[in-house]
Structure 1
């Protein structure tokens, strides 16, 4: 047997036994735990601790988004509908607005209700949003206002999945097939 073959087979075996073989992107080694202080869609002050005990998907966007946000959230809703019922009940999607000037708690609640009961809108002050987006390396930028005062917000579109203890596990991109997202959400739930 070649002397390079044994280490290769060993590393392949270890990779196959790894607990973090996500079909999406593993971020467990470099993303921080879930941590924030914001306002929920019911106007209550909340922190990350209020959402521990369920698997959590964290997504940043805004309700006036013409394309990326509704497509991403609809994709997450589709994936959640495809997991087993007991898994579905153990998932929450925290939709954090990067446009707190327009996205009041009431606006957030109406928006998240469209996607399903697992979706929860969060907002806060610009300082709170900036602290959280910096924590997860999310970028956003406001466009110029038009004559009516409307504007777009460019922002990152990845969603982050955390386990029940609030530890980062994997990242979901728009390009990830729904089947991969479903498989990873199911696997995350089984890990407890």
Structure 2
């Protein structure tokens, strides 16, 4: 899924009205599994001036990058953290770790040849899904619109459910980003 959709889904699933700290934790948990990607891509494209083809066709699939992705995309690590959050009965920690697990669960079936190792430290195995959220050759032509439709419905629900203006505005901005991202991927690929 596109990162804006992850943020929308995470807030809808784990955010609590009138609990800004929990909403922020849900946002953070939804973002953390993609954060290393943004940092590494940003560093290479923005600072080092690395050619995008090298970044997305070589570095992304390199052993070094996959070792980093294995840590922040591990069902096992996030699952342990979620269990600890439940045991401690910490609302913000449950939102953070639950949203991260939701992110991983939604990514797992939607990455064809660009998945990440999600069972580290047990294995570096990567599931190759028959469908992709971005590649039309693997069904993005129907996954993308479903993702956009679900995101739109969840943003409408967030607007009804949450009274805080900053959450409503953030959700609308994320939806605009999601609609742009899903449209761009369908046309590029």
Q: TM-score of the superposition, structure 2-length normalised?
A: 0.25
Which has a greater percent of strand? 1
Which has the greater radius of gyration? 1
